[in-house]
């Protein structure tokens, strides 16, 4: 089964820094523990206080020194340099009250003192051992070393960015889309009507600033476009510039991350001064979250980022009402942004850019097929239906792949098959023509895919099976597609549990047909999908069995437990693991129940696949018709 949804990899530097610091902190703790264990206190033998007092008052008691700290006594014998015995005094009274006489205390003559001290112990009082003092001492040793390490790490990072940047730093690399560049208009942006409407107002500000000024209206300075990657935020910002016929300056927040100290801020200054000179104009800052993540949440937000962010804020605060520059910033993580950025007078206008719905997907596809010759029978509506969850960029990509495929096949126009190929290629990866499966592998794949298809077909809350194929593609041996009848924003727990079970269906079918020992590596991506989805259900959706309605917030909380490096304890982590396992075990049991109840159909489907390699919805129907749902696979 192929998973067509993308996982976003949100790596973060500051997370690494936190991890590194946790590691160093743990090292320090270990050092402290070792130091504590090596102190004599750990190896000294305990003797009763009465014994100490009687020996201390005896000329031949053999005690050289008694070190008292709080209620603890450390005893050094006459022939030793280090204390070898310890004792505890009664907490309520003084040692004198308990009978210990400091024989040499009152003497003044040096010789007498010396003579006395050779017989009786010297009694020393020290402060009780202060753990913070000890830590302080250790810190005094460790911190400078740490500082050196951090400094070198920093230098390395700078050196790395030096390689990338080499020259011209400090000057804004912002691209200028002047009047000579091909202008983007709102018509080039399909769908997202409400976002366009919001931005129309900005266009009007830029075109007729005087009208607004006369009425004393405050012209907005910053607009924040929020939405997933590829939803057309950049395109939208360029369209604003295009519609208003003003120059467009753009830069990406991630570019700042690799800069020299102070360069980020100077770039910002330079960029803003260029934009002001060319006013009215638009500054577009892509991925602003890269420089403007919450300072508190991520702990060690880099100083460089902070300077860059501050410079952006300073520049925006310095705008006159008639400066004519509007800053548009884009992000897919509004929740991560520093609040300072969202205050009035800064990015106080928010426009949400969403993933396109079915009819918007059709519009986007039309935009991208507008200038491409295609056969009459290509079905964009069907493609729009199949691409739930895709972004505008994904769709643009499919259109481009279709054109490439057609050219490769030497077609005059893009055909239906070119389009299907492009879609599947973008969704899963290219067909692997070169890889020839032997008969056994083919049979195994056929049963594997048939397993997915039957479990998905039989379970009541699964999406219907759309297509099954054993033609290898991308990293998979075969594919079973399930397509939702319509777009949905929410999925319920029954639907998700059916997704888990049908994903398990492949491997279970292999096991049933070829025996336990015959299971292959072909199911690894299924199992990964199961693990990821089950984890998401438990951790993010409160769908665990015993932890129903409980979620386990992740690293974005900025709160860490040192022992686990996670925001929760070892025990909670174990609970999560148990819950995840329970979900995937349940899925395996249900998949097996379904397949055992439908063995004839499993054979029939696998044979049909071996024969035809690909089965479409219409082919599948008669084959799956008589399948049954056993009670043991029911959830409700």
Least CB distance to ligand ADP at residue 363 (A): 7
Comparing CB distances to ligand ADP, the nearer of 80 and 350 is 350
Dist. CA 383–CA 483, nearest whole Å: 12
Least CB distance to ligand ADP at residue 417 (A): 24
Answer with the entry of Zn ion, ligand ADP, none that 1 interacts with (C-beta below 5 to 8 A by kind): Zn ion
Give the Cβ contact number of residue 171 at 10 Å: 13
Strand extents, DSSP E, 47-134:
63-69, 72-77, 85-88, 122-126
Q: Which stretch binds ligand ADP (CB under 6 A): 146-154, 230-238, 460-468, 612-620?
A: 230-238
Specify the residue for token string 């998700």.
496
Helix-, strand-, coil-residue percentages of the chain, each rounded to 5: 50, 10, 35
- Is residue 606 near Zn ion by the rule CB under 5 A? no
Specify the residue for token string 């009035």.
344
Least CB distance to ligand ADP at residue 379 (A): 19
Strands 72-77 and 85-88: antiparallel
Coil/strand/helix, residue 537 = helix
Answer with the entry of Zn ion, ligand ADP, none that 192 interacts with (C-beta below 5 to 8 A by kind): ligand ADP
- Which pair of structure tokens corresponds to residue 401? 């792949």
Bond prior to 237 in cis (omega within 30° of 0): no
Comparing CB distances to ligand ADP, the nearer of 331 and 476 is 331
* Of the candidate residues 87, 231, 250, 387, the single one contacting ligand ADP (CB under 6 A): 231
User: Is the separation of the CB atoms in 365 and 356 below 8 Å?
Assistant: no
Residues in the chain: 636
Answer with the entry of ligand ADP, Zn ion, none that 234 interacts with (C-beta below 5 to 8 A by kind): ligand ADP
Answer with the entry of Zn ion, ligand ADP, none that 526 interacts with (C-beta below 5 to 8 A by kind): Zn ion
Distances 75 to 51, 79, 594 between C-alpha atoms, Å: 12, 12, 77
Comparing CB distances to ligand ADP, the nearer of 74 and 235 is 235
- Is residue 396 near ligand ADP by the rule CB under 6 A? yes
Strands 479-482 and 465-469: antiparallel
Q: Which stretch binds ligand ADP (CB under 6 A): 107-115, 189-197, 241-249, 562-570?
A: 189-197
Residue 449 appears among annotated catalytic residues? yes
* Of the candidate residues 229, 318, 460, 622, the single one contacting ligand ADP (CB under 6 A): 229
Give the Cβ contact number of residue 26 at 10 Å: 13
Comparing CB distances to ligand ADP, the nearer of 352 and 561 is 352
| Angular region, 168: left φ>0, alpha ψ -120 to 50, beta rest | left
Answer with the entry of ligand ADP, Zn ion, none that 396 interacts with (C-beta below 5 to 8 A by kind): ligand ADP
Comparing CB distances to ligand ADP, the nearer of 196 and 386 is 196
Answer with the entry of Zn ion, ligand ADP, none that 293 interacts with (C-beta below 5 to 8 A by kind): none
Least CB distance to Zn ion at residue 429 (A): 14
Q: Which stretch binds ligand ADP (CB under 6 A): 42-50, 152-160, 228-236, 264-272?
A: 228-236
User: Is the separation of the CB atoms in 393 and 230 below 8 Å?
Assistant: yes
Dist. CA 119–CA 532, nearest whole Å: 75
- Is residue 195 near ligand ADP by the rule CB under 6 A? no
Least CB distance to Zn ion at residue 452 (A): 6
Comparing CB distances to ligand ADP, the nearer of 178 and 229 is 229
Q: Rounded to the nearest 5°, which phi and psi values hold at 551?
A: -115, 165
* Residue least distant from Zn ion (Cβ): 506
Annotated catalytic residue: which of 401, 449, 510, 592?
Answer: 449
- Is residue 510 near Zn ion by the rule CB under 5 A? no
- Is residue 333 near ligand ADP by the rule CB under 6 A? no
- Is residue 472 near Zn ion by the rule CB under 5 A? no
- Is residue 633 near ligand ADP by the rule CB under 6 A? no
Contacts of 221 (CB under 8 A, 6+ apart): 316, 319, 325, 326, 327, 345, 346, 348
* Of the candidate residues 191, 264, 456, 506, the single one contacting Zn ion (CB under 5 A): 506
Least CB distance to ligand ADP at residue 378 (A): 18
Comparing CB distances to ligand ADP, the nearer of 398 and 595 is 398
- Is residue 271 near ligand ADP by the rule CB under 6 A? no
User: Is the separation of the CB atoms in 31 and 138 below 8 Å?
Assistant: yes
Contacts of 434 (CB under 8 A, 6+ apart): none
- Which pair of structure tokens corresponds to residue 102? 């400091």
Specify the DSSP element, H or E, that contains 176: strand 175-177
Instruction: Sketch the per residue contact string, 356 through 395, with ligand ADP: x for CB under 6 A, - otherwise.
Output: --------x--x------------------------xx--
Distances 580 to 106, 350, 560, 585 between C-alpha atoms, Å: 75, 37, 22, 9
Whose CA is closest to 586, among 462, 512, 518, 496? Answer: 496
Q: Which stretch binds Zn ion (CB under 5 A): 1-9, 129-137, 197-205, 455-463?
A: 1-9
Instruction: Sketch the per residue contact string, 513 through 552, with Zn ion: x for CB under 5 A, - otherwise.
Output: -------------x--------------------------
* Of the candidate residues 55, 196, 221, 233, the single one contacting ligand ADP (CB under 6 A): 233
Q: In terms of C-beta density within 10 A (0-12 exposed, 13-18 middle, 19 or more buried), how is residue 110 classed?
A: exposed
Q: Which residues are the active-site residues?
A: 449
Binding site for Zn ion (CB under 5 A): 1, 506, 526
Binding site for ligand ADP (CB under 6 A): 189-192, 227, 229-235, 330, 364, 367, 392-393, 396
């Amino acid at each position: 089964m192929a998973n067509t949804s993308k996982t976003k990899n949100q790596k973060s530097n500051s997370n690494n820094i936190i991890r590194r610091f946790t590691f160093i902190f743990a090292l320090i703790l270990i050092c402290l523990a070792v130091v504590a264990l090596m102190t004599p206190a750990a190896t000294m033998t305990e003797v009763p206080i009465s014994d100490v007092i009687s020996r201390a008052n005896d000329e031949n008691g053999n005690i050289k020194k008694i070190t008292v700290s709080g209620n603890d006594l450390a005893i050094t014998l006459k022939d030793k340099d280090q204390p070898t015995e310890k004792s505890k005094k009664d907490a309520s009274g003084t040692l004198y009250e308990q009978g210990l006489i400091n024989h040499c205390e009152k003497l003044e003559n040096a010789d007498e003192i010396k003579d006395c001290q050779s017989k009786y112990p010297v009694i020393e009082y020290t402060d009780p051992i202060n753990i913070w003092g000890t830590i302080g001492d250790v810190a005094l040793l460790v911190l400078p070393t740490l500082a050196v390490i951090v400094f070198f790490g920093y230098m390395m990072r700078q050196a790395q960015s030096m390689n990338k940047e080499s020259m011209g730093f400090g000057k804004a690399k912002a691209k200028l889309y002047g009047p000579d560049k091909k202008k983007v208009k709102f018509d080039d942006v399909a769908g997202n009507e409400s976002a366009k409407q919001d931005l129309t107002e900005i266009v009007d500000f830029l075109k007729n600033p005087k009208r607004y000024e006369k009425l004393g209206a405050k012209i907005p300075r910053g607009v924040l476009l929020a939405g997933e990657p590829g939803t057309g935020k950049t395109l939208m910002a360029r369209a604003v510039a295009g519609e208003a016929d003003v120059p467009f300056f753009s830069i990406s927040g991630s570019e700042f991350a690799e800069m020299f100290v102070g360069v980020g801020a100077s770039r910002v200054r330079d960029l803003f001064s260029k934009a002001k000179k060319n006013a009215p104009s638009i500054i577009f800052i892509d991925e602003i979250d890269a420089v403007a993540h919450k300072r508190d949440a991520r702990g060690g937000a880099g100083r460089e980022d902070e300077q860059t962010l501050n410079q952006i804020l300073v520049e925006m605060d310095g705008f006159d009402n008639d400066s004519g520059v509007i800053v548009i910033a884009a992000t897919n993580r509004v929740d991560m942004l520093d609040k300072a950025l969202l205050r009035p007078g800064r990015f106080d206008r928010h426009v949400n850019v969403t993933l396109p719905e079915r009819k918007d997907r059709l519009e986007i596809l039309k935009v991208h097929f507008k200038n491409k010759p295609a056969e009459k029978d290509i079905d964009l509506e069907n493609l729009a239906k199949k691409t739930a969850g895709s972004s505008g960029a994904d769709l643009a990509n499919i259109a481009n792949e279709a054109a490439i495929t057609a050219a490769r096949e030497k077609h005059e126009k893009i055909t239906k098959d070119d389009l299907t190929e492009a879609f599947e290629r973008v969704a899963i990866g290219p067909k692997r023509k070169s890889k020839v499966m032997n008969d056994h592998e083919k049979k195994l794949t056929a049963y594997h895919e048939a397993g997915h298809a039957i479990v998905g077909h039989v379970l009541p809350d699964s999406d219907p099976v759309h297509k099954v194929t054993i033609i290898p593609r991308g990293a998979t041996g075969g594919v079973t597609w399930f397509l939702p009848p319509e777009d949905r924003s929410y999925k319920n727990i029954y639907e998700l549990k059916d997704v888990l079970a049908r994903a398990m269906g492949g491997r279970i079918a292999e096991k049933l047909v070829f025996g336990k020992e015959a299971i292959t590596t072909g199911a690894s991506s299924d199992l990964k999908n199961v693990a990821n989805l089950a984890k998401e259900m438990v951790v993010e959706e409160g769908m665990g069995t015993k932890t129903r309605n409980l979620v386990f917030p992740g690293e974005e909380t900025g709160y860490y437990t040192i022992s686990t490096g996670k925001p929760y304890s070892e025990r909670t982590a174990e609970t999560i693991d148990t819950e995840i396992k329970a979900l995937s075990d349940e899925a395996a049991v249900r998949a097996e129940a379904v397949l055992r109840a439908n063995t004839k159909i499993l054979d029939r489907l696998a044979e049909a696949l071996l024969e035809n390699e690909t089965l479409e919805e219409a082919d599948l129907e008669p084959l799956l018709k008589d399948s049954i749902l056993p009670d043991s696979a029911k959830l409700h």
